[in-house]
């Protein structure tokens, strides 16, 4: 191996001396070579990833309690829901009142019902994805709404 410095002060190495320079022979130490291996291919680096397991959501109506009696003359009351784990940003919840979707699906866990008729009502909540697929449903909760009647004897 030969080494020389050019007129700009740059050091060069070669396996043959360059004419017109004061190249000096350099002795390499044994085992000072560098072994380079080619970069790994995409097939080598690809790991066999298992598909992501779907999240199992748990949803429950926490208020009002099942079989609760609600006394509210204007027919307004709230339904509070608990979800585990926290909903993914693409998911929403839909409230059903007596088997029919009550309002637009939402991300918040508090539903406000307005001017509901007196009597027995069945409530449930579903977690739905952006395509409307149901991922989880709550147990059905039955409530009894009492409203004062203007009709009365007397």
The C-alpha atoms of residue 93 and residue 135 are separated, in whole angstroms, by 10
End-to-end CA distance of the chain: 120
pLDDT tens, residue by residue, 101-120: 998 999 999 999 999 999 99
Domains present along the chain, CATH in parentheses: 58-146 (2.60.40.10)
Q: What is the pLDDT along the chain (154 residues), one digit of tens a residue?
A: 788 888 888 888 788 888 878 888 877 666 655 666 677 766 655 555 566 677 899 999 999 999 999 999 999 999 999 999 999 899 999 999 999 999 899 999 999 999 999 999 999 999 999 999 999 999 999 999 999 876 654 4
**CA nearest 28: which of 47, 15, 19?**
15
* pTM, full prediction: 0.62
User: How high is the pLDDT of residue 31?
Assistant: 60
- Cβ(87)–Cβ(57) below 8 Å: yes
User: How high is the pLDDT of residue 18?
Assistant: 80
User: How high is the pLDDT of residue 35?
Assistant: 63
- Cβ(74)–Cβ(115) below 8 Å: yes
């Amino acid at each position: 191996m030969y080494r020389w410095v050019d007129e700009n002060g740059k050091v060069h190495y070669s396996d043959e001396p360059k004419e017109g320079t004061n190249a000096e022979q350099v002795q390499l130490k044994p085992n000072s070579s560098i072994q380079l291996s080619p970069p790994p291919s995409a097939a080598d680096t690809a790991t066999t990833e298992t598909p992501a397991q779907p999240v199992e959501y748990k949803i429950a109506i926490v208020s009002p309690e099942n079989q609760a009696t609600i006394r509210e003359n204007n027919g307004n009351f709230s339904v509070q829901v608990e979800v585990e784990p926290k909903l993914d940003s693409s998911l929403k919840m839909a409230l059903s009142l007596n088997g029919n979707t009550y309002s637009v699906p939402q991300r918040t866990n508090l539903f406000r019902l307005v001017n509901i008729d007196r009597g027995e009502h069945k409530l449930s909540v579903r977690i739905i994805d952006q395509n409307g697929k149901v991922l989880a449903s709550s147990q059905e909760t039955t409530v009894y709404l009492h409203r004062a009647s203007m009709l009365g004897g007397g």
